[in-house]
Amino acid sequence: MPRANRLILAHIWVAVLAFGVAAAMAVMQALSRANLEVPYRSARMYYMSVTAHGVLMALVFTTFFIMALGYAVAQRENGEIRWLRFGWIMYGIAVTGTVMAAWAILTFRASVLYTFYPPLQAHPAFYIGLTLVVVASWGWCASIIASWRESRRRRGESPVSLAMHGTTANAMLWLLATIGVASEMLFQLIPWSLGWVKTVDPLLARTLFWFFGHPLVYFWLLPAYVIWYALVPREAGGKLFSEPLARVTFSLFLILSTPVGFHHQYQDPGIPAAWKLFHTFNTMAISFPSLVTAFTVVASLEVAGRLRGGKGLFGWIRALPWGNPVVSSVLFAGLLFMVGGFGGAINAAYVLNSVVHNTAWIPAHFHLTVGSAAALTFMGACYYLVPRIAGRELELGLLAKVQPFLWFLGMVLFSFTGHIAGLMGLPRRVFATDYAGAPQAEMWHTLTSVSALGGIVLFASAGCFVVVMIATLLTGKRTAVVPIEWAEPLSPPAGGFRKGIWDRLELWFVVAVVLVILAYAVPVYDLMHLTRYGSPGFKPF
C-alpha cells in the first residue's frame, strides 16, 4: 500500500469511530426528549450527550473525513501528498486534541454544547483540545494549497481538476473562517478556563463563534459538492452537465460563506440592525451558488438516467442505480437537503427567524444539512473511497445498500416532526419536554415520540455504516489499489478547458477577505469598546 494511503486511512479510522460514538449519544437524546425512561437518564447525562454528539459528529467526524478526502484528491491530482511527514505530524496533533476534548466531555467536565457558548464553562482540556484540532487542520490546508499550486504549475494553461479546485476553495474558506474561533479560544475561553481572567464577554464570544459557525456549514458542504460534481455522475453512469458552472460555484462559496454570521444573532442585543441587514443580504446571495449546484447536479443525474434508458418526464429517476450505495446516498442527501435549503432561507429572514429561534426547528434544520447533505454524502463516499484506498473489497454489501434508505427514513421521521414541533413552540436543548404536564407540552408528545422513532432508525443506519467500514478495513478481501476516477464533462471544448478567471482562487480569497472586513470590522470594534461587565463561568451540569 502506498504510504500516502496509510495517512488517508488513519483519518478515516478516526472519522468512523467518532461517528459511532456520536450516533450512540444521539439515540439516547431522542429517547430522552420523548420522555421515555432509558438507563442513566438525567439532565446531567443529557447535556453531556448533547455536547458529545455535536462535537464528535459535527467537528471530529466531518473534519477528519474532509481531511482524508482532501488528501485523496491531492494524491489523485499529483500522484503524491505534499509534505507527507508533516501531514502525519498534523494528524498526531489532531488526534491528541480530539482525545483531550473527548475526555473532558465524557467525564462531565465540558457540558457546554457544540456551540460552547460562555458563560457555560468547560475544562481547559476541552478548549485546548479543539484548538489543537483547528491548528492541525491549518496544516492540512497548507498541504492542499501546496498541492494545488503544484498542479497548476504542472498543467500549464489547463486548469486543475474540478475536485482539486473545490477542495482548495474549501481549504481557503477554512483558513478564513477559523480566524473567528481561534480568536475566541486563544483570547477568551482558554485564559478564562485556566483562571487567568475572571470574566468573559458572552456577546463578543458569540460573535466570534458565528464568524466561524456559518462558514463551518460550507466547510462541510463543499466536500459534499466535490463528491456530487466530480464523482457521482460517473458512478451513476453519466457525465457532469457543466464543469465551468461548477467551478464558478466553488469560487462564489469562497467569497460569500463567511460574512453572514449575524443571521445567527438576530435576537442578540448589542449589534445594530443595519449590520444584521448587511449579513442578511450576504446570506441570501449565497443561496445563488446553492441553486446553481442543485441545477447542475440534477441535470447531471438526468443525463445519467437517460443514458441508462430512462424515458419520459421522470423515468430517468427510476433508471438511476439506486442499488449502488454511493449513488443512493447522494440522491437521498440531495432530497433531504432541498427541504433543509428552504428551511435555511426561513432562518435567514429576520421576522421568520423570530418565530423559530431556539425551537426544535433549528436542530431539525441542521440535521437536514450537516446530518444529511454532508454526513450521508460522506458515508456514501466512504463506500467508494475506502475499498480503493485500502486495496480491499467492500464487505457486507447488503448492509451498505440498505443503510442510505434507513438514513432517509429515519431523518424524515426525526427532522420533519422536529420542524413541526418547533413551529408549535417546542424549545431546543431542553432535557424535559413535559413541562410538568402543561397543556401546550402535551401537544408535542406525539411529535417527540415519532422523532424518537426516527432516532432509533437513524441509529440502526449508523450502526450499518460503522460495521461495514470496520469489516472492510479489517477483513475485506485484498485487491489491487484502484485509482479514483472523476466524472467527465458532458460537452468539453475541443482541446479541453483553459484556465479562466474563476480558477484564480487566490484572487477570490482576497475578495473574500475584503468582504469579511467590510462585514465585521466596525461591529467587532464597537463591541470591544462597549462598556463590558463580563460574566463568571457557570457549570450547571
Residues labelled as active-site residues: 214, 218, 365-367, 428-429
Give 337-353 as a DSSP string: HHHHHHHHHHHTSHHHH
* Distance between CA atoms of residues 358 and 367, nearest Å: 15
CA distances to 194, 283, 459 from 406, in Å: 44, 32, 9
CB 400 within 8 A of CB 468: yes
* Distance between CA atoms of residues 167 and 216, nearest Å: 14
Give the residues across from 538 on adjacent strands: 120
Neighbours of 274 (CB within 10 A): 9
How many CA within 13 A on the CB side of residue 349?
10
* Distance between CA atoms of residues 216 and 486, nearest Å: 26
* Distance between CA atoms of residues 122 and 343, nearest Å: 32
Residue appearing with cell numbers 484548538:
131
CB 189 within 8 A of CB 116: yes
Total residue count of the chain as it appears in this document? 541
* Distance between CA atoms of residues 405 and 35, nearest Å: 27
Give the residues across from 120 on adjacent strands: 538
Local structure of residue 185 (DSSP, 8 states):
I
Amino acid identity, position 90: M
**H helix runs in 156-259, sequence order:** 162-184, 190-193, 202-230, 232-235, 243-256
What is the SS3 assignment for 478?
strand
The three cell numbers locating residue 222: 463543499
Give 198-218 as a DSSP string: S-B-HHHHHHHHHHHHHHHHH
Q: What is the dihedral of CA 536, 120, 41, 376, to 10 degrees?
A: -170
* Distance between CA atoms of residues 404 and 321, nearest Å: 13
Residue closest to 133 by CA, chosen among 105, 109, 102? 102
* Distance between CA atoms of residues 8 and 518, nearest Å: 38
Q: How far is CA 241 from the centre of its chain?
A: 25
Neighbours of 478 (CB within 10 A): 10
CB 421 within 8 A of CB 446: no
* Distance between CA atoms of residues 338 and 342, nearest Å: 7
Residue appearing with cell numbers 458572552:
202
